[in-house]
A and B are shown apart, each in its own frame.
Chain A
């Protein structure tokens, strides 16, 4: 199916463990983004990528690692999960850095709980 998909939908992990959230898009969009959403903070940008092998930090990158070896995939890794990283994570994609007509298209999110 065309679109942007995230996996897993739900994840519970323990403090200190490494966890990877997956994001896959079928549109061949150049830009991909990872946001986290927390009550009172709204959506905050973690990392983004302009193309394969090009990534850059967003507003809250500490504790996260990204890679983009293929245009369609943009995994987000929490190297050593902490309770403060409990959040809902959204991946998004766009043909350009800001598409004035359509903004960003989001995946359905991953709810991560760190215990």
Chain B
């Protein structure tokens, strides 16, 4: 079983739509969680950290469910510029916990 699993998509949504991505992780001891965004042929960039109580950054809302070991990302009022791949990231199972990345969910926002 992969440490981080994501639906690869693509999710094709019209501009203005609300879209949600889920991610499951296998390490119940993971302490840190992030969503990264990666544009085509570019480096991953931090979108937001995910905190236990859930957090919001503008149109983006992240939730963490430790009991079920999943993380979600909700994007409201989608923009064309939101088209990208969204990577779910958690700390891994090693003794020195490092970040381990999901394979990403691709989002395509259309007119």
Contact = CB atoms under 8 A, between A and B. Distances in A.
A106 B103 contact: no
A60 interface: no
A42 B98 contact: no
A45 B98 contact: yes
Contacts, number: 53
B45 A42 contact: no
A97 B44 contact: no
A41 B44 contact: no
Given A42-B87, A90-B43, A98-B91, A103 B99 contact: yes
A31 B106 CA distance: 29
B104 A42 contact: yes
Contact of B96 (A90, A97, A105): A97
Contacts of B87: 42-43
Nearest to B2: A42
Contacts of A2: none
Interface residues of A, number: 24
A56 B97 CA distance: 12
Contacts of B91: 98
A107 B97 contact: no
Interface string A28-45: 000001010000111101
A60 to B, nearest CB: 12
Nearest to B100: A45
Nearest to A48: B98
B36 interface: yes
B49 A107 contact: no
Given A103-B34, A107-B43, A109-B43, A42 B99 contact: no
B97 A108 contact: no
Interface string A46-79: 0010100000101000000000000000000000
Given A42-B87, A97-B97, A103-B34, 9 more contacts: A43-B44, A45-B98, A45-B100, A100-B31, A101-B49, A102-B49, A104-B99, A108-B42, A108-B43
Interface of A: 33, 35, 40-43, 45, 48, 50, 56, 58, 90, 97-98, 100-109
